[in-house]
Amino acid sequence: MKKKFRVFVTSRIPEAGLQILASKCELDIFADEKLTRTQFIRHLQDKDGLLCLLSNPVDSEIIDSAPRLKVISNYAVGYNNIDIQAATRRGIVVTNTPGVLTDATADLAWALLLAVSRRIVEGDRMMRRGDYRGWEPQLLLGQDLKDKTLGILGAGRIGSAVARRSVGWNMQVLYFDRKRNPDLEEKVNARFTPLNQLFAYSDFISIHLPLTAETNHLVDEKALRRMKSTACLVNTARGPIVDEAALVRALKEGWIAGAALDVFENEPEIHPELKSLNNAVLTPHIGSATVGTRNAMAKIAAENLLAVLAGGKPRFPVNHIG
């Protein structure tokens, strides 16, 4: 039987999602490593649906090159890679995958916080180089977590989950967002704090904001200079929220003690000097990278897409089509 809808999938997502799609759609799955702009436009031009990654910029030219397109399903919770206005103008529904990746991302934020504060990656490198000469009183001294202050930038699902995990360390939680989060205030005694104060008083700052025009370079030189020289910055949200060149200076010149980054300003490129800094822990955007989470994301992305093609409402729309 001929399938009714044609869908372009820009990369091989887990089978759990592909099977759902394949039951109803003719799939064109891009299997090469890097999708060029020309290839993107060519593959999309006759498609009804697009399932794409956060690393696929979907701008107005790409959107307008696909006259049949009805839905863009992003395999991510963040959707800054998509020109939402251009899609909305064309009546195209854009969807995302919130919720299922909250815990995995919060866990990674904590893994990074612990790694940078206890200098775990430095220690690992020392062992592999064969430089360990035995226990020493001053070897790789890091920062304590207990009773310290955790600053959360962005108190949505993931920021709140990170804050909840701080209870075991008896931390004071400060948070900043566009609006207050009474639930977080009640559950972990978190304090809504102006940005300048959050930068100045926190021992650890973890970023969980979406990338928008307002949050781009929110953590700039001024903010970094406000932080304590013993503080560590963790970013599992989006790279451009931090001015990477300013961060390199902050780490080199000791304005702050360390940074742990899962996201970068120009992925997959990273500032060349970051790689040589011992007080930076770097991971390759793996916040949601657990088997269970990626399977769940694949299913939701597929279901969102099919719901729109079937003429219904998707579970997680990010724009409103009148």
Contact footprint for ligand DGY (CB under 6 A) = 54, 76-78, 101, 287-288
Rounded least distance, CB 65 to ligand DGY, Å: 25
Choose between 13 and 190: whose C-beta lies nearer to ligand DGY: 13
Query: Is 61 designated active site?
Result: no
Q: Read off the tokens for 189.
A: 């005694």
Please answer whether residues 111 and 121 qualify as being in contact, where contact means their C-beta atoms are separated by less than 8 angstroms: no
Rounded least distance, CB 226 to ligand DGY, Å: 26
Q: Which of 43, 165, 238, 294 is catalytic?
A: 238
Q: Which of 26, 122, 267, 273 is catalytic?
A: 267
Q: Which of 165, 208, 226, 285 is catalytic?
A: 285
Rounded least distance, CB 70 to ligand DGY, Å: 22
CA distances from 2 to 23, 24, 25, 229 (A): 11, 9, 9, 64
Choose between 14 and 287: whose C-beta lies nearer to ligand DGY: 287
CA distances from 218 to 18, 50, 140, 173, 311 (A): 37, 31, 31, 20, 39
Choose between 105 and 166: whose C-beta lies nearer to ligand DGY: 105
Rounded least distance, CB 185 to ligand DGY, Å: 26
Choose between 119 and 208: whose C-beta lies nearer to ligand DGY: 208
Query: Is 33 designated active site?
Result: no
Please answer whether residues 259 and 227 qualify as being in contact, where contact means their C-beta atoms are separated by less than 8 angstroms: no
CA distances from 129 to 123, 133, 137, 199, 280 (A): 10, 11, 20, 36, 18
Choose between 181 and 293: whose C-beta lies nearer to ligand DGY: 293
Report how far residue 38's alpha carbon sits from residue 14's, in angstroms, rounded to the nearest whole number.
25
Rounded least distance, CB 119 to ligand DGY, Å: 26
Query: Is 43 designated active site?
Result: no
Phi/psi of residue 125, nearest 5 degrees:
-65, -40
Report how far residue 295's alpha carbon sits from residue 64's, in angstroms, rounded to the nearest whole number.
31
- The residues that are catalytic are 238, 267, 285
